[in-house]
Amino acid sequence: MALNIIFMGTPDFAVPILKSINNLNHNILEVYTQPPNKKNRGQKIKNSPIHDFSNKLNLPVRCPIAFDEKEINHIKKLNPDLVIVVAYGKILPVKLLNLDKVLFINVHASLLPRWRGAAPIQRAIMNLDQETGVSIMKIVAKLDAGPVLLQSKIKITKEINYKELSGQMSELGAKLILDSLKLIEDKMANFIEQNESEATYANKIEKTETRINWNDDAEKIIAKINAFCPNPGSWFELNGNRIKIIKAKEIISKGLPGTILDENLTIACSKNAIRVIELKKEGKQKMTTDEFLRGNEIKTGQSLN
């Protein structure tokens, strides 16, 4: 039996999952996403990736500021069987979650109960976790605490960055949602409660975290660079300019933390050093370190602290 579905999502991560659902015989009633906002220097109004993709599919889109009484009644009148939430960016009110005969599920980018919250992919990379995954869970009032229907794992290499891992996990979620919908459609869904004692939280990334601390060891600094790539980016100051590191590798070397060790832009950390491979100067396009050094002077022994 075809399910009547409302989809709620916003970023690129949610797009393959919506595409996967749309390819089935279920009925997508509406798509909810964050309202358009002003982007970049031109301050042009820009739709979310889900908004643009929904327009291509000719799916009706709604962008409410909040779920007030009117909005909840609208959803109630649509009479969905299922609401699927993927990185929507809004907390659903209890009154909405309590609608009769509506199942609310979330596609969450971690192996719950680990890394509940806003930044699970970034926190997993920063923490040097060896694996993460995708969880399909029932939404309850407590953040990411609902019982889990399905999970699938994925390895985290030391070289992978947020954009790359997010893309892989999104495709994994697109496959997992199909298995979940089949179980729900066949009335065979079995949701298992999470172990609260194992819960950890992936707090939102703060701007203060993005500046590189050379007193950290090289492995940790590279993990942060990867976790924040491409945005918001990990950065340091050089000759009064903010430099965002796109890619770096660990070098076995010693020096006072924050000191430039050679002409290849190798920088000492508390343990070992990092060699910058790709970077982005503020207001410029990303470039290789070789390209950067052709027009920017650095000095061996220069301190970046």
Q: Report the percentage of the chain scoring pLDDT > 90.
A: 94
Q: Do residue 106 and residue 194 come from a single domain? A: yes
The dihedral through the CA atoms of 77, 81, 86, 87 has a sign that is: positive
**What's the token pair of residue 138?**
């029932």
What is the pLDDT confidence band of residue 42, given thresholds at 50, 70 and 90?
low
Among 202, 234, 264, residue at a domain's last position: 202
Residue 303 lies in a domain: no
Q: Do residue 172 and residue 252 come from a single domain? A: no
Residue 300 lies in a domain: no
According to the model, what pLDDT value does residue 205 have? Answer: 96
Among 202, 235, 267, residue at a domain's last position: 202
Q: Do residue 241 and residue 196 come from a single domain? A: no
**What's the token pair of residue 170?**
């999104």
- Which one, of 87, 91, 10, 84, lies nearest residue 51 by Cα? 10
Burial per residue of 236-271, b for 16 or more beta-carbon CB atoms within 10 angstroms, e otherwise: bebeeeebbbbbbebbebebebbbbbeeebbbbbbe
Q: How many CB atoms lie within 10 A of CB 190?
A: 9
Q: With 70 as the cut, is the pLDDT of residue 180 above it?
A: yes
Instruction: Tell me the CATH number at 274.
Output: 3.10.25.10
- Mean pLDDT calculated for residue range 140-155: 97
- Strands 116-117 and 148-155, bridge-based pairing: unpaired
- Which one, of 268, 275, 253, lies nearest residue 216 by Cα? 268
According to the model, what pLDDT value does residue 226 have? Answer: 98
- Mean pLDDT calculated for residue range 234-259: 96
- Mean pLDDT calculated for residue range 26-51: 88
Give pLDDT tens digits for 70-108: 999 999 999 999 999 999 999 999 999 999 999 999 999
Q: Do residue 60 and residue 184 come from a single domain? A: yes
Lowest-confidence segment of 7-21, 95-109, 291-305 by average pLDDT: 291-305
According to the model, what pLDDT value does residue 43 have? Answer: 67
Among 169, 202, 235, residue at a domain's last position: 202
Q: What is the mean pLDDT of the chain?
A: 96
According to the model, what pLDDT value does residue 112 have? Answer: 98
Edge-to-edge strand ranges of the sheet holding 148-155 = 61-62, 27-32, 4-9, 82-86, 103-108, 131-138, 148-155
Which is more confident, 119 or 44? 119
- Mean pLDDT calculated for residue range 272-288: 95
Q: Do residue 9 and residue 62 come from a single domain? A: yes
Domain containing 237 equals 207-295
With tokens 């000759």, the residue in question is 239
Domain total in the chain: 2
Q: With 70 as the cut, is the pLDDT of residue 41 above it?
A: no
Q: Do residue 51 and residue 176 come from a single domain? A: yes
How far is it, in rounded angstroms, from Cα 2 to Cα 236?
53
* Dihedral in degrees, nearest 10, Cα atoms 196, 169, 136, 195: -10
Residue 302 lies in a domain: no
- Mean pLDDT calculated for residue range 234-242: 94
Q: With 80 as the cut, is the pLDDT of residue 147 above it?
A: yes
How far is it, in rounded angstroms, from Cα 77 to Cα 178?
26
- Mean pLDDT calculated for residue range 41-46: 74
Indicate the pTM of the whole model: 0.94
The half-sphere exposure of 277 on its side-chain side, counting CA atoms within 13 A, is 11
Give pLDDT tens digits for 119-129: 999 999 999 99
